[in-house]
Amino acid sequence: MYKKVTILGSGSWGTALAANLSKKGCPVTLWGRDAEVLKSTRECKENKKYLPDIHLGDAIIYEDNLAKAVSQAEIIISAVTSQSFREVMRTAAPFVKNGKIIVNVAKGLEMNSYKRLSEIASEEVPKLSYTILSGPSHAEEVGKGMPTTLVASSENLEDAETIQDLFMSDRLRVYTNPDVLGVELGGALKNIIALGAGISDGMGFGDNAKAAMMTRGISEIARLGVKMGALTGTFFGLSGIGDLIVTCTSMYSRNRRCGILIGQGMSPNEAVRQIGMVVEGVYTAEAAYKLAQQYGVDMPITEQIVRILNDEADAKSAVMSLMSRGKKHEQEELIR
């Protein structure tokens, strides 16, 4: 018998997860702020605004009352954006009883505080049981039932295995990993590199440039992560190189699409507006760069992305800065 699940966030990812769990026979409630979107989705059995052409069936319950949605759940899955996460956790906290598992599926760092979402959750919901679900997973493909692999990470192995069992199917394969810090950082920081990959594409560069961006990108992500205490191997798994590959190469990726527009000459603000949904890398870049400075870690790609986003450099000059850096031996930066 499946536990009762409430998904907070009726965007594309929350809707895709609701569709998958519902098909397995799991009792699912989907909460969202926008009552009109929920009403339309309930009536059409399709989230026309955020995940069109995906049939949702009849079993999903739609709820715009957060207290009611959280109170009845045994597992709470947060699919709101990283910048909305603290507010939603704070509002939900009075209704989260002991024994409930909170699962976060957003990927980002909080602006201004530069905190990871697990840190925010522990501040807002005392004594919570926290798990993160991450990996290379576009909502559009998951919603269509295409094969996807994910990783569930928690300091409590039993909770990670509970989430593993909840989502496992012949279309979703879920691994476990105890390195919450590494899984969070991999999922958050790859969005910055995806912006860079998109900028490269928008400027008309080829596969060589993108391969360099991705390879050197995962290197600087891992440098910061290991310095902060994460496990090296995590960055070469699903939530590291796996998520980086899919986000840097797919047109489903908002971060890559935003980067393409910037590379074609559009201002960062206008590019974000044209995407029309949250572009997590734009918010995470500044936080990642501040963390790099705090920990004394060299992150040249991230630094140049921040300069572009802050209108301190254009794409062409940022590329020249990266390409004209001093000579290095590749293995002098080998992660140990």
Conformation bin of residue 317: beta by default, left when phi > 0, alpha when psi is -120 to 50 = alpha
Task: Give the three-class secondary structure for 79.
Answer: coil
Letter for the amino acid at 260?
I
Q: Is the dihedral of CA 59, 50, 237, 180 positive or negative?
A: negative
Order of all β-strands in the sheet with 28-31? 61-63, 28-31, 5-8, 75-78, 101-104, 129-134, 148-153, 172-177
Point out the catalytic residue in the list 39, 190, 210, 328: 190
Based on the residue annotation, tell me whether 190 is a catalytic residue of this protein.
yes
Ordered DSSP codes for 105-130: ----B-TTT--BHHHHHHHHSTT-EE
- Structure tokens given for 235: 């960055």
Catalytic residues: 190
